[in-house]
Structure 1
């Protein structure tokens, strides 16, 4: 029964769990002692009731992966590398997706199988073989699906050139191998597996010696390796130890297979190319050779292997001995194998006994990195292993007819002698150490060996993919094609690179036929720089997919050029993009070779280009030549090389030049720098800005934040508003104060012509409630809203600005050229200016709540703003002009409001209450702040026409005496504040009390007691006071005097007799008297003056200090003003100074905002001195 992809993934995870559990168990107990290891496990499982107490063997795959991830640096990073760590991370994600019933495509399932197999291979787990089989089966299924769904004959991606009519198509000259032509090859088949062949498994092209050599091109280096092997194993000389060292996929294992099959016992004359090797070696036949194959990632250092004859093999040297001579040979080193000690010279004896022998060791580093320092594994300790390595190389050197061939990963030779090897093959810290140690041991004895050259690579690929040309006529057809191309390049030499003009280029075309040399140059030069491409192996995989697609679709071109590679074929595209970053697929779809791609659109629009599919061919060529080096310092290919990859004999290079220009002008991801062109994963600057602006449409929060930031900056000029509340989230963000403020509504609530627009609705909610509490001071809020239509334009402008801003900020990451960077900065300035201009054009609606009278409903007035001032300034000007905001209020208008509504509470109203009224009720005039009303009251109290136009003032109403205390009028110097408890009094009520209390209750004579000479004259005056101590007008009193005479006007004339006398006055029953001293000495000293009560010296200065409650300053200050200061102020010629001193201690310190606020307010309030101290 067929498995679903979900079931495949589940099965793979089960294999992964089985393989990891034993590895984790082994490494934990190798890293720690038993007690510590149990503690580490307990720490991991203690919080999980399912895992707690379970042995590692019973953990699920999630626990195994999570444990490896968490303990990587502590345990597993020493054995495995970053590549394996990435696999662990990836598999954790796949497992979570599987556990949550996620869907898996065939590609997804293959990725899981491949990643799990790679991880298990790295730890030499046998479960890796099962996953390899599952991968193979899935690939077969995918191929069958592709065959069934492939209906591209009519809509073929194959491009037919003009040369197809004059030159024979390649398909009529050469034939692909059957597995390539049918597409039934496996990607894994291009990766030689020495162990699989040793077990008698694998495909024929690797397992069968004849088929292997038929498809293998013997390079000069490989021939040298075979000749050296023959000489060594026949006793004719040769190097005893050979180290094969290349990058990943460089042909090390393939070379070992060539040696393995050469000495397989088959007649060497049946092996293609071997006859030349035998001749060069001066031999006609080959001896019977004992072959030993040791593959490090297939042999576990922790699990002994039981052979068919019952032999239990634990170490690498045990495996070597058993393969040499079975149980008999193994018994010679059985003790060393059991104790995991190096067998020493016994190896030489075995080699001599079973000579000639060929020992092939592949992936040795993968085996060595599994070993521990303490030697607790059956395979031995890390240190012992290198003792064995040294003994092995020395034994191979001294033994008769023994060849030891070892493959090691290549290193980056650009650094120090201790350079770092490819992590994909080496692994972690322990792997690097193992590689270094092996190099040191082997390096003293190794023979040099080099990989295939690029030219040899042509023949390697050709032989692996195509059947050999056998018909002599086909050789002639090949030569005709090569000559036609060479002559074409000579004729149009200025259109193509210089190397195309040489005679050698024609030879290269013949050598690479039917693949154009430019394809190989790009693959071997550019694509081979990618770590995962694996040089020849990557070329084989890609070209196998290309040839299959072209063969199936009947390609009739004379050569396979970069421009004829069917990138739109899913299999080809998958091979190309697997080595690149994930974001290339949509770029191919859009700008290179998708069904609706730009090149196809241009070809469809321009018939002259569409005739040759010129734009599509140009795009394919540029992609092949630039994609792998998109991030390089010198990227792109020249226009001449683009034409080399496109143009065939019989076609005009100018057509493709036109296609190139059109494509460069419209493509999103195609860059141009002079004559060089390249595709990049980053869009071009202008198009990039457009795309980013379009993407920002899906991120309204970013747009809103930018608009809000700019509006806030604009609102720094607050106009006539006491405060501004920009973009509140609700009424709770707008305080309930008595000063008029501007509320700027959020962009999500714009205004339209609808009287019940979103803006009006939002304003209503804020006006009615502060959070969940009804708002009190509702006559203090006006609202500013954005226009809904203009907001769309602003949104687009802000998106463009943010797009350009992101490009300028990322110009280094985007690798912008100086020209592009300058262009981006200029565009950013323009976009910024546009946004700044559109802000006031968008926020143009003032929404003002109004009410005609207390009985009318609230109306919402909308006013349109204009002008160039900042928003708040424009709004306050508009409100002032429309009388919806008043900065100066006339006392007469206040008197009208008091009488019309009315606002009197009986015969008076307090200043505090009146300020509250104007802040609360929408039917009253909207004042800028409470100080406007206070100033109005002060002006009204100073009017001479107060009886008709304003009001009187009283300090308080005395409920017991039913009278106003401190009642007065025409008080110009009275100082008030909004919280003053004083009262405005109706003029009628004030006049009634004044008339009632106008009679004096106390009289005084001035001057007080004095001294006169006989017959001297002095005028005395009478002062009358009311109950408040205020001076009142009175008629003349009745005067009387002794010691002289006094008339009705109070003029006193002293008599001639010296002595002390009295002057009296009487008014309405009130009496007052003073004493007069008549003396010849008119100015006696104070001490000489006789004591008189009337001459008492009165105090002339008052001072007092009181501490106020900082939370109730207004209340306490009001009481002090009423009960102390007011009494002092009514004294004649009194000069009063009140100083408020503030001292605050701040244990937590004052931040910059608090310091700035206090300092600015103190300066505004005219503090003489103020400051903060540290």
Structure 2
């Protein structure tokens, strides 16, 4: 069965459709009915019962009234006491029309079955007296149609029942303002019987009296005495009945006199009363539906729509409240159609707690406006749901906030519904949300469920499952509404959210949720002074302390990134402004190349010691925003701790929770942002070396960022942590052993690998030495010498294990040269020995005399170095840096070597040095601690 819109199945009453009803029409006025001045819906008995759903309480009451009027028992006195808007007046009207009807009972819808249950075949018509305390005043006379003046309650009762005859019975007490006796009232009732006395708003009448003061209507005490006597008299007349309404809420009681009157009346009525059963919530469905809809739909169609909703709830059982899973909820859907039960639950359970909101009448007034607007707007929802409420309509909006405290107008207009509201804007820009109006439907549901009870609920807000119940329809994806709530929670200022017992709860309040304060503070955060240091700390924390790099430099200027061989490569984390994007690599590559080629103003030598990591351009924007958000929340917490912000306990807790959440989100975003690993290489194919960049994406889901980087570097061979001697031999043959060169400094090869991007990036000198040692165990790669003296290699090793020391004297020897040298230093073969075994005893051979063993060559120990160089004063700064890197650093990196550097400056001028120059030079030299400085002639 297709999911038809409610407007194609149900049909509202004409006055609801046309919007011609007056809100006052819903307020049944029994005095207007008694005077014949009410609207047809209330005045005409047939129309009244056609639109009235006889609840269980009303059914029992009408049976009792019918039995009493027929003289078959029944209660003589019935007290109607329920909360404001509980249906008391409507019940009185039902009794009025049943007793005073001008048509037969078979024309009153719902009455024949009721009389059958009471076993009454002929219900007599009765006289009815209606006393409305709102329309009477103790100090005023009531002038009747025949000119008769009536001043007291008992006079009013007597005149309505028997006219002048009744007044004559009570003449003395009426004129004196004293209560008539019980016997007189019994006689009055007997003459009028069968009769019904309806007293409405009695407390409102009695509270107008002042204690000890006499009025035309008598005194406070005389009126209470009359009520007591009347209730007693009713018991003595078998076919007379009294119905009186008493308020239950303090709002209706009205002041000290009202409370005094109510206390006394409850005591008198308690002796003889039968308390009426109020309207149940399930019965309210039918009351509202009967009054607002001329036709609620054929049973088969209603059940079909309700079944689809029920199946939808059961198919997504983990998303909706538990009560929606039972067949009872299916029946509720059918009973309340075309209005969703969730609307009734919220109005009757939450909104009815508000002062002045009448349970039945208030719901009728509100839903009449809603249905009229939805009908005119051609609403296509399958049910009228909380998410359907047209809160963008001014009339509906005004009615919605009528019972609420000040401040809700702005909340509705900005964050709930309307053309300029944030939810409307979100639905308009996010296609996924807009397809089902997810943002507006969610916020309407939250408003209906949370607006009336923000300050009273022990557990605030509407649960997620009840929000989904108020929004989603069969055929829609529930997850869209879950997503939109997360989206709204992070963007709206009056929306609050809190997790309670594994369930998210949302509510609206007229106080901002501190998000506006937070957003205001984000605008004042200085990027250079506050944001960048924060991001530097956050990004630095991603790497931890356990790693194999010589250093990790986060947002570090090129001058502060060391240019040294070190024990490992360095990882440089580029600053936020150097983010990487596939579509635009310029910023990241330019920033990395600046650090790669320069150290401050000087050229960088050990370029192959650097690797880079850059942030993602798209995510960087979110990271900066989150950084500002965190700093804003942090400043709010600081102001709270310092007493600069005056907030309630919940807002303080919420601020701290938001600050913690912002910190966690910042950490996660930092990880997601810094995901691009940049590796510099050098292309030599065109003869001119140019820097090239290889880029690799890192995963944000791995447990350790550093471990992921190290693994990627090994996999891509961007960093050599284990090196085979075959690769070292290939390197030597390609770059060094050519054009007749047969040996090369081992230290130079290592240092060249640190300098030049086209050579392998070796993790450390240990990796290089390990490759040397492995290569020397075989005769397939190269030879090694600890030094050289003329044509001789010192500590020559080839084809056997050796302990290599990497220093300036160590040499790597081409394999073929190593083979030739080894052959050249082999000792000469010994001369052959005579093999005749028989010696000549007469002429023995003389002994062989070996040549003397030459002493080992004397090695001259060199322990001092001296060097001097002349530097061009125009390029001295650069040349001195080169001297430091290429010469001085060779000494300072070795243990046990002391280096002294002296600088001698000679400046000769063809003219005289002026005094200002002499003074400046002298002062600078003294500051720089020159051992001597002098100007000479």
- State TM-score, norm by structure 1: 0.45
Contact 1:309/1:327, CA 8 A, preserved across alignment? no
**Residue in 2 aligned with 1:818?**
653
**Residue in 1 aligned with 2:421?**
597
**Residue in 2 aligned with 1:557?**
381
User: Are positions 1:289 and 2:289 aligned together?
Assistant: no
Q: CA deviation at 1:633?
A: 2.2
**Residue in 1 aligned with 2:336?**
512
Contact 2:427/2:434, CA 8 A, preserved across alignment? yes
**Residue in 1 aligned with 2:237?**
399
Q: Return the match for 2:489 from 664, 674, 682.
A: 664
Contact 1:693/1:803, CA 8 A, preserved across alignment? no
Q: CA deviation at 1:476?
A: 1.6
Question: Distance between the aligned counterparts of 2:660 and 2:435, measured in 1?
Answer: 41
Q: Return the match for 2:294 from 467, 473, 476.
A: 467
- Relative to structure 1, the CA distance from residue 826 to residue 665 in structure 2 (aligned partners, 3 Å threshold; closer, same or farther) is closer
Task: For residues 542-566 of structure 1, give each alpha carbon's deviation from its aligned partner in whole angstroms, at most 9, with x where no partner exists.
Answer: 1001000011111122111110111
Task: For residues 586-605 of structure 1, give each alpha carbon's deviation from its aligned partner in whole angstroms, at most 9, with x where no partner exists.
Answer: 00111110211111121122
- Relative to structure 1, the CA distance from residue 640 to residue 797 in structure 2 (aligned partners, 3 Å threshold; closer, same or farther) is closer
Q: CA deviation at 1:626?
A: 1.1
Question: Distance between the aligned counterparts of 1:802 and 1:500, measured in 2?
Answer: 42
User: Are positions 1:681 and 2:525 aligned together?
Assistant: no
Task: For residues 909-934 of structure 1, give each alpha carbon's deviation from its aligned partner in whole angstroms, at most 9, with x where no partner exists.
Answer: xxxxxxxxxxxxxxxxxxxxxxxxxx
Question: Distance between the aligned counterparts of 1:824 and 1:532, measured in 2?
Answer: 40
Task: For residues 11-41 of structure 1, give each alpha carbon's deviation from its aligned partner in whole angstroms, at most 9, with x where no partner exists.
Answer: xxxxxxxxxxxxxxxxxxxxxxxxxxxxxxx
Q: Return the match for 1:387 from 221, 225, 228.
A: 225
Structure-to-structure mapping, 1:247-396, within 5 angstroms: 247-265=83-101, 266-344=103-181, 345-396=183-234
- Relative to structure 1, the CA distance from residue 562 to residue 296 in structure 2 (aligned partners, 3 Å threshold; closer, same or farther) is same
Q: Return the match for 2:475 from 634, 638, 650.
A: 650
Contact 1:168/1:477, CA 8 A, preserved across alignment? no
Q: CA deviation at 1:285?
A: 2.6
Contact 1:306/1:313, CA 8 A, preserved across alignment? yes
Contact 1:563/1:618, CA 8 A, preserved across alignment? yes
Q: Return the match for 2:279 from 449, 452, 456.
A: 452
Q: CA deviation at 1:166?
A: 3.1
User: Are positions 1:623 and 2:452 aligned together?
Assistant: no
- Relative to structure 1, the CA distance from residue 375 to residue 488 in structure 2 (aligned partners, 3 Å threshold; closer, same or farther) is same
Task: For residues 877-900 of structure 1, give each alpha carbon's deviation from its aligned partner in whole angstroms, at most 9, with x where no partner exists.
Answer: xxxxxxxxxxxxxxxxxxxxxxxx
Question: Distance between the aligned counterparts of 1:350 and 1:493, measured in 2?
Answer: 65
- Relative to structure 1, the CA distance from residue 556 to residue 797 in structure 2 (aligned partners, 3 Å threshold; closer, same or farther) is closer
Question: Distance between the aligned counterparts of 2:156 and 2:371, measured in 1?
Answer: 42
Question: Distance between the aligned counterparts of 1:440 and 1:310, measured in 2?
Answer: 37
Q: CA deviation at 1:202?
A: 1.9
- Relative to structure 1, the CA distance from residue 810 to residue 320 in structure 2 (aligned partners, 3 Å threshold; closer, same or farther) is farther
**Residue in 1 aligned with 2:433?**
609
User: Are positions 1:437 and 2:272 aligned together?
Assistant: no
Q: CA deviation at 1:688?
A: 4.0
5+ residue gaps, structure 1, are 1-164, 411-421, 696-795, 828-1174
User: Higher RCO, 1 or 2 (CA under 8 Å, sep at least 6)?
Assistant: 2
- Relative to structure 1, the CA distance from residue 823 to residue 604 in structure 2 (aligned partners, 3 Å threshold; closer, same or farther) is closer
Q: CA deviation at 1:189?
A: 1.3
Task: For residues 957-991 of structure 1, give each alpha carbon's deviation from its aligned partner in whole angstroms, at most 9, with x where no partner exists.
Answer: xxxxxxxxxxxxxxxxxxxxxxxxxxxxxxxxxxx
Question: Distance between the aligned counterparts of 2:638 and 2:104, measured in 1?
Answer: 71
**Residue in 2 aligned with 1:641?**
466
**Residue in 1 aligned with 2:816?**
none
Contact 1:297/1:367, CA 8 A, preserved across alignment? yes
Task: For residues 1115-1145 of structure 1, give each alpha carbon's deviation from its aligned partner in whole angstroms, at most 9, with x where no partner exists.
Answer: xxxxxxxxxxxxxxxxxxxxxxxxxxxxxxx
Q: CA deviation at 1:408?
A: 0.0
Contact 2:633/2:659, CA 8 A, preserved across alignment? no
Q: Return the match for 2:250 from 423, 430, 442.
A: 423
Q: CA deviation at 1:368?
A: 0.8
SS in 2 for 1:482: helix
Question: Distance between the aligned counterparts of 1:803 and 1:591, measured in 2?
Answer: 29
Question: Distance between the aligned counterparts of 1:243 and 1:807, measured in 2?
Answer: 59
Q: CA deviation at 1:535?
A: 1.0
Question: Distance between the aligned counterparts of 1:617 and 1:495, measured in 2?
Answer: 17
**Residue in 2 aligned with 1:222?**
58
Question: Distance between the aligned counterparts of 2:177 and 2:522, measured in 1?
Answer: 67
Q: CA deviation at 1:801?
A: 7.1
Q: CA deviation at 1:431?
A: 0.8
**Residue in 2 aligned with 1:791?**
none
Q: CA deviation at 1:400?
A: 2.9
- Relative to structure 1, the CA distance from residue 809 to residue 467 in structure 2 (aligned partners, 3 Å threshold; closer, same or farther) is farther
Contact 1:371/1:379, CA 8 A, preserved across alignment? no
Q: Return the match for 2:72 from 236, 239, 255.
A: 236
Contact 1:693/1:799, CA 8 A, preserved across alignment? no
- Relative to structure 1, the CA distance from residue 568 to residue 204 in structure 2 (aligned partners, 3 Å threshold; closer, same or farther) is same
Q: Return the match for 1:572 from 371, 380, 396.
A: 396
**Residue in 2 aligned with 1:908?**
none
Question: Distance between the aligned counterparts of 2:359 and 2:422, measured in 1?
Answer: 31
Contact 2:73/2:238, CA 8 A, preserved across alignment? no
**Residue in 2 aligned with 1:732?**
none
Contact 1:668/1:688, CA 8 A, preserved across alignment? no
Question: Distance between the aligned counterparts of 1:212 and 1:452, measured in 2?
Answer: 18
Q: Return the match for 1:544 from 361, 368, 371.
A: 368
Question: Distance between the aligned counterparts of 1:194 and 1:234, measured in 2?
Answer: 24
SS in 2 for 1:625: helix
Comparing 278-287 with 386-395, greater Cα deviation is found at: 278-287
Q: CA deviation at 1:692?
A: 9.7
Q: CA deviation at 1:799?
A: 15
Q: CA deviation at 1:375?
A: 4.4
Question: Distance between the aligned counterparts of 1:546 and 1:350, measured in 2?
Answer: 49
Q: CA deviation at 1:817?
A: 5.9
- State TM-score, norm by structure 2: 0.56
Question: Distance between the aligned counterparts of 1:809 and 1:380, measured in 2?
Answer: 62
Question: Distance between the aligned counterparts of 2:641 and 2:112, measured in 1?
Answer: 66
Question: Distance between the aligned counterparts of 1:463 and 1:663, measured in 2?
Answer: 38
SS in 2 for 1:287: coil
Q: Return the match for 2:17 from 166, 178, 181.
A: 181
Contact 1:355/1:401, CA 8 A, preserved across alignment? yes
**Residue in 1 aligned with 2:41?**
205
Question: Distance between the aligned counterparts of 1:645 and 1:244, measured in 2?
Answer: 34
**Residue in 2 aligned with 1:748?**
none
Q: CA deviation at 1:504?
A: 1.1
**Residue in 1 aligned with 2:319?**
495
- Relative to structure 1, the CA distance from residue 801 to residue 662 in structure 2 (aligned partners, 3 Å threshold; closer, same or farther) is closer
Contact 1:689/1:807, CA 8 A, preserved across alignment? no
Contact 2:522/2:632, CA 8 A, preserved across alignment? no
Q: CA deviation at 1:267?
A: 1.2
- Relative to structure 1, the CA distance from residue 657 to residue 436 in structure 2 (aligned partners, 3 Å threshold; closer, same or farther) is same
- Count of aligned pairs between the two proteins: 551
Question: Distance between the aligned counterparts of 2:262 and 2:641, measured in 1?
Answer: 45
Question: Distance between the aligned counterparts of 1:603 and 1:194, measured in 2?
Answer: 48
Question: Distance between the aligned counterparts of 2:252 and 2:202, measured in 1?
Answer: 10
Question: Distance between the aligned counterparts of 1:493 and 1:798, measured in 2?
Answer: 38
Contact 1:170/1:514, CA 8 A, preserved across alignment? yes
- Relative to structure 1, the CA distance from residue 692 to residue 234 in structure 2 (aligned partners, 3 Å threshold; closer, same or farther) is farther
After superposition, the CA RMSD in angstroms is 2.7
Question: Distance between the aligned counterparts of 2:478 and 2:632, measured in 1?
Answer: 43
Q: CA deviation at 1:652?
A: 0.4
Q: CA deviation at 1:825?
A: 12
Q: CA deviation at 1:687?
A: 2.2
SS in 2 for 1:533: coil
